[in-house]
């Protein structure tokens, strides 16, 4: 199996890239450091965020992103699965149980990324369309 210059297999390197990007993108102060991890043609399939690097950077500073950060604080360690140029990240998240006030239940969030030449080129997740027409409000 081919290894990268740092000794990792391409699949391992892709998983590490996704982990690093997510670490940066959920941190408001360090999100801009993720810019170089995205291709200039970055495609976003989340219906609340336009495609492009500038759009994802604007999103990281939005109220919608702040809500996501609150949820991510309760997230467990992610699991990564890689095949070809795709990486899937699954993360357990504790959510309030509407049937039992004061209790939580575990849900799972999935993200999938396409890697192109060592950078994130495309992203999918299960986010529903938000009522707010302006994702950066």
pLDDT of 69-118, one tens digit each? Answer: 777 777 889 999 999 999 999 999 988 999 999 999 999 999 999 999 99
Domains located in the chain, CATH noted = 10-125 (3.10.450.50)
Torsion angles phi and psi, residue 8, rounded to 5: -90, 150
Of residues 8 and 28, more confidently modeled: 28
pLDDT of 25-59, one tens digit each? Answer: 888 899 999 999 999 999 999 998 899 999 999 98
Yes or no: say if 88 and 114 are a contact pair by the CB < 8 Å rule: no
């Amino acid at each position: 199996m081919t290894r990268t210059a740092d000794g990792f297999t391409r699949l391992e390197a892709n998983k590490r890239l996704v982990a690093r990007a997510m670490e940066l993108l959920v941190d408001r102060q360090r999100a801009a450091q993720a810019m170089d991890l995205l291709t200039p043609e970055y495609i976003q399939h989340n219906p609340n965020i336009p495609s492009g690097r500038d759009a994802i950077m604007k999103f990281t500073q939005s109220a919608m992103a702040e809500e996501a950060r609150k949820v991510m604080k309760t997230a467990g360690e992610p699991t990564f699965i890689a095949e070809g140029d795709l990486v899937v990240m699954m993360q357990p998240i504790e959510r309030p149980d509407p049937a039992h006030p004061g209790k939580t239940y575990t849900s799972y969030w999935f993200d999938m990324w396409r890697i192109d030449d060592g950078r994130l080129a495309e992203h999918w997740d299960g986010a529903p369309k938000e009522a707010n027409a302006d994702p950066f409000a």
